[in-house]
Chain A
């Protein structure tokens, strides 16, 4: 029974899914089980994970940030423009992260000043930021969707750098996972995040700095989105304004699959991290066994639908079971 109790934790289920999935694809194509294949295939999807970690915070507060994809492109373009203007590449990286933080702060201030649903505000700001990155790339001479390339070699090699036998983006992801785990589960700030998600009004009456907490959460999301844009720029060796447009939905998918409630108030970083790997390896695995990438993405959508529907069904089932138990016990008392 105790081992069954373990599976009440959603993270355990995710870990099991991950192992089963890797073994399944490995059984069809043994090349998949190669450790270096497993490690290096993460470079294709890990940028989603980097931003999903921070997005978890925002979704736990009951908000959402639809502008992350736009911010990814904006940070890459900022980097590219500054590089073209002759700024040192590391200073440019720092500025790009700063731009990310600013976008997050703008989001947070707009949401709290207007008191409008974050979904709507960040939808508007995503148009603004993606428009801004198009304007910047247009002003920078790279017309339209053309990229800015020719970065410093040390920057481009960063994505292929090997640290302790692992690709550098994966290392960034692992470090970020640990940092966010500590931040969310071991600090006062993390507890505030949960409380805001559970009950904003109680948070306000308890005198908790709601504005500051939310602003930090959104700013962190902006910074991580910018970081993931930089990782992409380094990985591809060029900066484009439409970098992040495909990353938004997978990032939300990872957060939701990781067990975070879309209504806020619950969720874990570990769940998100595992879900990133589950979705990422699902895609790569399908491609390795010869499924075309479009169908692979369709099946990822189906995976999300099935998993979430099953969770929802099991919750409905549990509610009925509880009801039945209560009714049953009252019936016995009467007899």
Chain B
């Protein structure tokens, strides 16, 4: 059971989400319907998009704390363009392009100039936020075109066009990371930069691309945010970077790179929003939200850390068992070899599955 949770980090978040919704349904059965799920989903769209981007960046062992500012900047630029009479599509295009440039700038700092990711993006966090104020002149942007706001209204099967787009992106990102060479390269760079370089992966290009995609996705999150609330405050996106990172971590994306799935991060994002919505539906006072979310986040993280530690210890035991029990050395030789090159940090996308299976088979034999 524990091993299953460890190898499928998404499962643990999914269980928690189900538990959360179960509590909601028990306390008030009138919420037991699809609309509840849909409304939570549409509340979490921006966080979903950011979480996809955060997964890619964190998979390269990076971190982007500037996404909130990029979000605000893209929203502001889209808003200004639309109110200047530009069509919706060109305005969105320009905003996405600006997001791309922001992401490329981050990537340039991290990949080429070798600035630590958190430092580089911390700087651009302030810089892009200042650009927001430059763009808007310090005032809110109101009076967005109705057609633009309509993009966030229910359209097909109760979901808005943006909601469908996000679902599509989720699937695309999952396929991209799981089944393409480039996706694997992203994880390889995060797991072992030097090793990836020796394998012939263009490490700098991969890192740049990850940050660039993250930039575009942040811009998209900004656009969705603007369409959802119908105006653009200067503080749009403030603090979203932390929520995005938290969603990723909750969903099993490691900050040390090389592991994690988009689905996990998306579930994490769903959970972060669900907790807010559920507490509102249970008629808690709004000020409990952050505290309960924080407490659950901490408990999950500590629990996960303990499980991982136990896993690492059992792996270490397997590795050295041939020295402790010499007669079993021959049986374990091959398994120990497999264990040796797997880092001790738990579930990896590649490699650990075999390791875990090997460890498991040894255990059953013993």
Residues of A participating in the B interface, judged by any CB pair closer than 8 Å: 64, 66, 110, 113-117, 119-121, 123-132, 134-135, 137-138, 143-144, 245, 249, 252-253, 256, 262-263, 292, 294-305, 308-309, 312-313, 315-316
Contact = CB atoms under 8 A, between A and B. Distances in A.
A302 B122 CA distance: 10
B269 to A, nearest CB: 14
A127 B297 contact: yes
B126 A304 contact: yes
Contact of B290 (A134, A256, A316): A134
A280 B325 CA distance: 63
Contacts of A66: 242
Given A123-B242, A125-B298, A298-B133, A305 B291 contact: no
Please provide the 5 A-B residue pairs with the shortest distance between their CB atoms, ordered closest to farther.
Answer: A298-B130, A301-B126, A131-B291, A114-B305, A131-B290
Interface string B115-127: 1101110111111
Given A120-B255, A124-B294, A295-B133, A302 B127 contact: yes
B305 A113 contact: yes
Contacts, number: 166
Given A131-B294, A252-B118, A300-B126, 16 more contacts: A116-B301, A116-B304, A120-B245, A123-B297, A127-B293, A128-B297, A130-B290, A131-B292, A131-B293, A253-B126, A298-B128, A298-B131, A304-B122, A305-B115, A308-B123, A309-B113
Interface stretch (B75-83, B167-175, B198-206, B281-289): B281-289
21 contacts: A110-B301, A110-B302, A114-B302, A114-B306, A115-B309, A116-B305, A127-B290, A130-B290, A135-B288, A249-B122, A249-B126, A252-B122, A256-B122, A263-B116, A297-B129, A298-B128, A301-B127, A303-B123, A305-B127, A312-B115, A315-B114
A77 to B, nearest CB: 11
Given A134-B287, A308-B119, A128 B295 contact: yes
Interface of B: 63, 109, 113-116, 118-120, 122-131, 133-134, 138, 234, 239, 242, 245-246, 249, 255-256, 285-295, 297-298, 301-306, 308-309
A136 B192 CA distance: 45
A129 B113 CA distance: 36
Given A134-B291, A304-B126, A110 B298 contact: yes
Given A123-B245, A309-B113, A298 B298 contact: no
Given A113-B306, A135-B291, A120 B249 contact: yes
B287 A304 contact: no
A312 B117 CA distance: 12
Given A121-B298, A128-B295, A295 B134 contact: yes
Contact of B287 (A110, A137, A305): A137
Contacts of A119: 63, 118, 255
Contacts of B109: 305, 309
A115 B27 CA distance: 36
A135 B287 contact: yes
A299 B128 CA distance: 10
B294 A127 contact: yes
Contacts of A249: 122, 125-126
A145 B192 CA distance: 45
Contacts of B63: 119
A318 B255 CA distance: 29
Given A113-B305, A116-B305, A129-B294, A298 B123 contact: no
A222 B138 CA distance: 34
Contacts of B255: 117, 119-120
Contacts of A134: 287, 290-291
Nearest to A315: B114
A120 B246 CA distance: 7
B171 to A, nearest CB: 27
B288 A131 contact: yes
A303 B255 CA distance: 27
Nearest to A295: B130
